[in-house]
Structure 1
Amino acid sequence: MSILTENYIVKNVRAYPVLREKFMAYMKGVKNLPEGFRENKLFHDYLKVRRNNPEKRVSQSEYMIFGFYNLSTGEQKKYLTDVEATRLMRPYNNDSEPYLKSKATFLKNFTRFIHRGWLYVPKASYEEFCDFLHKYRTIALKPQYSSWGIGFFKLTEEEFASKEDPKEFYQKLCEGRYLAEEFVQSCKELAAFHPSSLNTLRVITFRNGDRFEVFGGGLRVGNNGLCVDNAHGGGIFCEIDPESGKIITDGLDEYSNSYVTHPMTGVPFKGMQIPRWKEVVELCKEASKELPCLRVVGWDVAILEDGTLELIEGNHSPGMNIVQAPAKHGVYERFSSMLLDYYGEPDQYVTKQSA
Structure 2
Amino acid sequence: MGQLAVRLRYLAGRARKLSPANLAEFTDQVKRVSKAPSAVIIADMLWCSVRYDMGFRDYAVWDIRLLKGRERATWMTHPKSFRITRMLNSAQARPLVEDKPRFYQDFADDIRREWLDVRIADDDELRAFLRRHDVVIAKPTNGFGGGGIDRVTTADIGDVTAWRAGQVAKDQTLIEEVLPQHPDLAAVYPGSVNTVRLVTFLGKDGTFHVIAGVLRIGNGGVIDNFAGGGMFTMLDDDGVALYAGVDKQSHVYETHPVTGVQIKGLRVPMYREAVAMAERLSRRLPQIPYMGWDIAITPDGPAVIEANHNSSVFQMKPTVSGVRTGLLSRYRDATGLAL
- Unmatched segments (≥5 aa) in structure 2: 1-11
1:336 aligns with 2:332: yes
Partner of 1:82: 78
Partner of 1:7: none
TM-score of the two chains, using structure 2 as the length reference: 0.84
Partner of 1:312: 305
Partner of 1:36: 35
Provide the C-alpha distance between the structure 2 equivalents of 1:62 and 1:258, rounded to a whole number of angstroms. Answer: 16
Provide the C-alpha distance between the structure 1 equivalents of 2:33 and 2:338, rounded to a whole number of angstroms. Answer: 40
1:143–1:152 Cα contact (<8 Å) kept = yes
Greater displacement, 166-175 / 115-124: 166-175
Greater displacement, 119-128 / 229-238: 119-128
1:141–1:152 Cα contact (<8 Å) kept = yes
Provide the C-alpha distance between the structure 2 equivalents of 1:74 and 1:19, rounded to a whole number of angstroms. Answer: 29
Provide the C-alpha distance between the structure 2 equivalents of 1:31 and 1:291, rounded to a whole number of angstroms. Answer: 39
Partner of 1:154: 151
SS of 2:284's equivalent in the other structure is coil
Partner of 1:21: 21
Per-residue Cα deviation, 1:179-206 (whole angstroms, up to 9, x for no partner) = 1111123211111111100000011222
Provide the C-alpha distance between the structure 2 equivalents of 1:27 and 1:190, rounded to a whole number of angstroms. Answer: 34
RMSD value, Cα: 2.9
SS of 1:145's equivalent in the other structure is coil
Larger Rg: 1
Provide the C-alpha distance between the structure 1 equivalents of 2:123 and 2:54, rounded to a whole number of angstroms. Answer: 45
The alpha-carbon distance between structure 1 residues 52 and 199, as it changes in their structure 2 partners (threshold 3 A), is: closer
SS of 2:264's equivalent in the other structure is coil
Per-residue Cα deviation, 1:253-274 (whole angstroms, up to 9, x for no partner) = 1111111111111111112221
Percent of aligned pairs with the same residue?
A: 26
Partner of 1:64: 60
Per-residue Cα deviation, 1:94-122 (whole angstroms, up to 9, x for no partner) = 25412111111211111121210011221
Task: Give, as a single letter, the amino acid of the residue that structure 2 aligns with 1:318.
Answer: S
Provide the C-alpha distance between the structure 2 equivalents of 1:267 and 1:67, rounded to a whole number of angstroms. Answer: 26
Within a 5 Å distance, the mapping from 1:144-293 to structure 2 comes to 144-161=141-158, 166-175=160-169, 176=171, 178-208=173-203, 210-224=206-220, 226-242=221-237, 244-293=238-287
Task: Give, as a single letter, the amino acid of the residue that structure 1 aligns with 2:216.
Answer: R
2:62–2:316 Cα contact (<8 Å) kept = no
1:143–1:177 Cα contact (<8 Å) kept = yes
TM-score of the two chains, using structure 1 as the length reference: 0.81
> How much has 1:52 moved relative to structure 2?
3.8
Partner of 2:120: 123
The alpha-carbon distance between structure 1 residues 43 and 227, as it changes in their structure 2 partners (threshold 3 A), is: farther
Greater displacement, 268-277 / 59-68: 59-68
Task: Give, as a single letter, the amino acid of the residue that structure 1 aligns with 2:217.
Answer: V
> How much has 1:124 moved relative to structure 2?
1.6
Q: How many pairs were matched up?
A: 320
Provide the C-alpha distance between the structure 1 equivalents of 2:271 and 2:17, rounded to a whole number of angstroms. Answer: 47
SS of 2:234's equivalent in the other structure is strand
Provide the C-alpha distance between the structure 1 equivalents of 2:246 and 2:191, rounded to a whole number of angstroms. Answer: 19
Per-residue Cα deviation, 1:111-154 (whole angstroms, up to 9, x for no partner) = 12121001122122233222211111211011111111110001
Provide the C-alpha distance between the structure 2 equivalents of 1:292 and 1:34, rounded to a whole number of angstroms. Answer: 42
